[in-house]
Amino acid sequence: MKSANFKLPDGRQLAWYEVGHGRPLVLLHGWAMSAAVFSEVASLLSAYFRLLIPDLPGHGNSSPPLQNDLVGIAADLGAWLTATENTPVTLVGWSLGGMLSLEIARQNMLLVEKLVLVGTTPCFTQSENWAFGLPSVQVRALARNLERRFEATLADFFSLAFAGEEICKERLRTIRTFAVRKSPLPDQSSTLGLLNMLAVQDQRAILPEIHQPALVLHGDLDQIAPVAAGRLLAEMLPQGRFSGFPGVGHSPFLSQPEETIARILEFC
């Protein structure tokens, strides 16, 4: 996998990686992770696509964001993609990466052909009119724990992605090795700021504006973004399609990589 750095207009660096040949597929990782989380599926997808995989601002080897929200980070990614690729791209976003994919499509800053949204929700936190997110008290507790014991809290949150699954300890160790331990910890301030943003984030109003075909992949045991959120996301998107993973949590591409690849290939 080839690594590179893109210099943003303000001088910050965006680290990114490229592998494979063919039509461009952009992989966007989730909160507090890095491009390394896609190491396994990238090796499988690279036989079919040219993969472009950034470390989101404040994650991996990328500089922290100036505007630490969906709009600001999407603008950084748009600047990178516009300079890197001049053909239509398919965005594959996991969790926060899925939310960013929706924002990039809404901003219409580049040619987005299709969307694959993995473990994605339009609203991260529960509210009076949205029951399909984390309770606000749990999000506040997560923020407090990030300030007190940052690395341990990230490890606990990563484990939550597999809660309820029948997945062996050896497989979990393998996933942690390539997905977590091969990348620097995210910037603590950026991570906490993004969590505070997610606590109030609501993308439902923009969904009717997004007309690209969208495949929503969601595990039915997801305890971070409940499966009902994924179903409703697919219903609210004009060309949305839902595809569920029985017995799987928040990360289908880690729990069932071959099946995830098969569904992406069928859709793309």
End-to-end CA distance of the chain: 22
User: Domain of 254: which CATH number?
Assistant: 3.40.50.1820
Rounded Cα distance, 125 and 127, in Å = 7
What rounded mean pLDDT belongs to the chain?
96
- Sign (positive/negative) of CA torsion 232, 266, 24, 209? negative
Nearest to 182 by CA among 2, 70, 33, 71: 33
Q: For residue 248, what are the domain limits?
A: 2-267
Residues marked active site are found at: 95, 222, 250
Q: State residue 43's pLDDT score.
A: 94
pLDDT value at residue 109: 81
Domains of the chain: total: 1
Per-residue pLDDT tens digits for 87-139: 999 999 999 999 999 999 999 888 999 999 999 999 999 999 999 999 999 99
The pLDDT confidence band at residue 34, using thresholds 50, 70 and 90, is: very high
Question: For 220-241, what is the mean pLDDT?
Answer: 98
